[in-house]
Amino acid sequence: MNYSGIVIAAVCFLVIGVFHPIVIWAEYYFSSRCWPAFLAAGLVFLAASLAFSQVILSAALGVLGCSCLWSILELKEQEKRVERGWFPKNPKRK
């Protein structure tokens, strides 16, 4: 049996689940202006995924890279959610 698909699906599920609080935390402490860090990390992970021949590791790095890139959009959405009052605003930031 080949369990690669199930492992990749589990990694994808976990990475997406972990990135939700990361985006909330990043917007709270750094605002959406921290998007270049997500861009750089995403590009590094995607490039790293090309360097590995092992399918699961390559797919995991690809999922991680795409999640970093998707987080750029989510930072903007999180900023809107904070403006609507759905999430707390950092009182130390102007």
41-56: per-residue pLDDT in tens? Answer: 999 999 999 999 999 9
**Per-residue pLDDT, 1:** 83
C-alpha distances in angstroms, 75 versus 8, 35, 41, 43, 47? 25, 7, 15, 17, 23
pLDDT higher than threshold 70 for residue 94: no
**Per-residue pLDDT, 90:** 85
pTM here is: 0.89
pLDDT higher than threshold 90 for residue 92: no
| CB-based contact 8:60 (threshold 8 Å) | yes
Helix axes 55-83, 35-51, angle to 10 degrees: 170
15-50: per-residue pLDDT in tens? Answer: 999 999 999 999 999 999 999 999 999 999 999 999
**Per-residue pLDDT, 93:** 75
